[in-house]
Structure 1
Amino acid sequence: MDRIDRGSRVMGAAPATVYNALLDREALRSWLPPQGMRGRIDRWDPRPGGGFRMTLTYLDASESPGKSSDATDVVEIAFAELVPPKRVVQRAVFEAEDPAFAGTMTMVWELAAAGDGTEVTVTATDVPPGIGQADHEAGIASSLANLAAYVEAR
C-alpha cells in the first residue's frame, strides 16, 4: 500500500506538554476521538512494546457505521517507538470482520518546536483500504484540533 494520510497543526504549547498528552491515559481518551465520537480506553501500558485498546463509539451511528460493530470501532494500538519529546510511533489494528479493515496501520506523531509552540505532524501508512482517505484525514485533523484545545488549556 503506497497511500499516506497526513495532518499537521501548530499548537500553543511546548513539545514536552504535547508529548505528555500523547502518553497520558485520560488526556488521550479526551482528545483522540474525532468529532462525532467518544472514546474509552480498555487497556493501558504506556511504554515501548506496550500500548492500549480503545473503543470509539459513534454518537450517531446511522451516518457512520462502525468497523467493529454498528456503532463502534475497536482498535489495538502498540507503542512501537517513544522518543520524548519528539516522536511517538504507533501500530494500529482494527477489530473488524471486514477484510477491507485488516492489516496494521502505522501512525507517526512528530513534534517539532515552532516558535513558542509545537508543530505536530501525523503520518499514517499502510492504511486499510476500507478507510477512505478524505474521511481519515478529516479525522486526523479533528483529533489534532482536539489535542490543540487540550494542551492549550493547560
Structure 2
Amino acid sequence: MDYNHNDNREGWDKWNSNASNSSYYNQPVHRPYGQTFSIASAVCGLLSLMTCCTIVLSLPLGALGLLFAVLAYRKGRKTSNICVTGITLSCIGLAAAAALIVYSFVMLPALMRNDVFRRQINAVSQQMYGMDFDAFLEEYYGYSFED
C-alpha cells in the first residue's frame, strides 16, 4: 500500500489552515447561529426563578425570557435545548410570582387581623408615608379591619 500518494500534489500544505483540501483544518470558525436569543431566554428565566420572591423583578424577567424564546424560535432555526430551558424557567418563575401575588391578596385580611403584624405595618407606613396603613385604608377605600 502506498501511504504517500498525497505527497505528490502541488500546492498542498497540510499545516495551512486555509488549505481547501484539508477537511480537518477547514472547520467552521463562525459563532453558532441563533444562540444569542436562546441564551438570553435561559438567563432571564433563571433570574426570574431566582427572584420570584421579589415579585417586582420576577414578572418582567419572566416575560423577557419568554419574549427572547419566541424571538429565537421565529429565526427559523430548530429550537435548541437552551431555548426550551429558558421557556421552562420563565414559565416557572412567572407562575411562582403569580402564586405569591394571589397568596398575598388572600392572606392580607387574615394578617391584618393579627395585632402584632398590623402594628408593624402601621409603623412602617407611618415612617414612609406619614400615615398609618389603617388610616390610609379608611380614608381612601372606606375599609376598616376593625371587627
TM range, smaller chain: under 0.3
Of structures 1 and 2, the one with the larger relative CO (CA 8 A, separation 6+) is: 1
Structure with the higher strand share, 1 or 2: 1
TM-score normalised by the chain length of structure 1 = 0.21
TM-score normalised by the chain length of structure 2 = 0.21
